[in-house]
Structure 1
Amino acid sequence: MTPNFRTELRQLLAKLSGFPIGATDYVSYFVNDSGEPMVFVQQQGEKSATLLHSDLDWEPHPVTGPTTTMADTAPEEMKQKLKNVSIDGGLLSTPMCGSAILGRDEAQWLDACFSASTPLRAD
């Protein structure tokens, strides 16, 4: 491992995602089971972090807390539709980050990142 590995990795992830990543930011990289890379960035002193997902065109998605589910965020009318089109309402347990739908492995990784980056967030 080169002495500048962390710096080089940050630069590579910033180039890959098109998102600025600073030297003191908490950064995590993940590849889901479909081979899609994802990057989590928590900038020093910011209240929210950022999720960058290749399958979502690297569009920054704010991360303000642990992941939610469709049951947590969908309007009541949508919840009823989801209950009707899925076995035992299974779609309601689909993990979400804002409007981004996540796989369970992605949600577990994202929750771990959010927890690990807590000391960097603003009060």
Structure 2
Amino acid sequence: MRTSLNVSEEVLSAFDAVWRAEGIDSRSRAIREAMLEYVESHSRLEDAEGDIAAVVVFDYEHEAVIGELHVVQHEFEAVIDATSHTHHGEWCLEAAFCEGPAERVRTLVYRLRDFDAVRRVSVLSLTAESTEM
């Protein structure tokens, strides 16, 4: 199936440099692999049940969203055990260390992704199944 998408020249150039450096044979293959990684990541979060431990890392433009982010963090204080925060110019990088029901952590992640001034949200999680040998 063919499809098209709009991306900035800057993002496309960076993407092309990465897949070429990795030795992938075409942009199409690199896009397919990136899409599969995205789907797998989403599925892991979506399929998690019960209590989980997770680190939710996100970057955002400080002035554009800080007040609203504080409201969200307080709304989810039952699952956010601690946070770590650093500034880089006008951007911030934050890690929220979470523990609790997967549904609440998942909802937090989706809320963070709703903000235009939040650029990326990444999740690393442990479930009871992922800690068994």
- TM-score, structure 2 as length reference: 0.25
* Structure number with higher helix proportion: 2
* Structure number with higher strand proportion: 2
Larger RCO (alpha carbons 8 Å, 6+ apart): 2
Instruction: Report which of the two structures shows the higher radius of gyration computed on alpha carbons.
Output: 2
- TM-score, structure 1 as length reference: 0.26
